[in-house]
Amino acid sequence: MGYITAHDGTNLYVEDVGSGEPIVFLHGWPANNNMFEYQKNALVEAGYRYIGIDFRGYGKSDAPATGYDYETMASDVHMVVYGLGLKDFTLVGFSMGGAIAVRYAADYKEDGLKKLVLAGAAAPIFTQRADYPYGMTTDEVDALIDDTRADRPKMLEGFGEIFFEKEHSKPMQNWFHHLALVASSHGTIASAQALRDEDLRDALPKIDVETLIIHGVHDKICPFAFAEQMEQGISNARIERFEESGHGTVLDEREKFNDTLLQFVQ
C-alpha cells in the first residue's frame, strides 16, 4: 500500500495486497477501491495480487481541481502500472472505471495488459445521442450534478437506491454509502460531467486483448444495451449475463462474480 505520483503531481493511493499474477481494479463513480473488498479477499486467497487504485478525487488519493476526463484518468492508471512495474496483468474496470479501462486499453497497448474485464461499464457512451438511444439523457445527468451541488448526501442516497437489484443488509448499504461520501465533491461533479460528455466508440476497435463483459440484466444505471454495444465494438469480447443483478454485480451476485473472474484470469 502506498502512493504513486501522476504526471501532474497528483498522489494516487494504491492498495497492493498479495502476490502472484496482478489484477488491477478501477472503481466506479463515486466510490473508491474499497468497493472491491470481497473480490480482493477471494483473489488473495486464490494466490493472486490485488491492486486497487483510488482515482484522483476519491478515497485516499489527492483531489486536484482538474484532471477528471478519461484521458487524464487513463494516464493515471498508466503511471500506476509503470510505477509498480506491472506486466501480464488483468485490468478490471467497473462502471466509470470500465469507461476509463476502455480508454486505457486503447491508448496504452505497450504497458503489458493481458486481459480486460468490463463490469457494468459506463461505455461506450453513458448518455444518449441522436445515434445512440441508450442510457440517461444529458438533462438527467445535469439534474444529478445539480443535486450533488445542492445536497450531495441525499443525491448519493437516491443513487444507491437504484444501484442494486437485490436487497442488502442496512449495514452493507451504509458501508457502500460511506464509500461515496468520502469522495471530493468537486471530483464527483467533474467526473459526472465526463460521464455525460465523453464518447468511447472510437476506442473500442483499438482494444486487442481478450475481454470479458460482465453486466447485470437489470442494470438501471448502465443498461444492458451497453454490454451489447461493447461486444460489437471489441473484436475479442464476450458477455457474461448476470441474470439476478442490477448495476452492482460485485455484491448482487458476489460468488458468481468472483468465480467468473477467477475462471477468466486462469
Among the options 62, 75, 184, 247, which is catalytic? 247
Among 62, 76, 219, 252, which one carries the catalytic annotation?
Answer: 219
**Strand runs labelled E in the chain:** 2-5, 11-17, 22-26, 49-53, 89-94, 113-119, 210-216, 237-242
Evaluate the CA torsion angle 53, 68, 182, 10 in order and state its sign: positive
First-to-last C-alpha distance (Å) of the chain: 25
- Nearest Cα to 247, choosing from 255, 257, 258? 257
Taking Cα atoms as reference points, which of 145, 91, 154, 90 lies closest to residue 121? 91
Query: Any catalytic annotation for residue 219?
Result: yes
Whose cell is 448476470? That residue is: 242
What whole-number distance in Å separates Cα of residue 261 and Cα of residue 257? 6
Question: Could you confirm whether 95 is annotated as catalytic?
Answer: yes
Contact predicate 246/165, CB 8 Å? yes
Looking only at the bridges linking them, the beta strands covering 113-119 and 89-94 are parallel
Q: What angle do CA 255, 155, 71 make, to 5 degrees?
A: 70
Which one of 61, 75, 95, 184 is the catalytic residue?
A: 95
Active site residues: 95, 219, 247
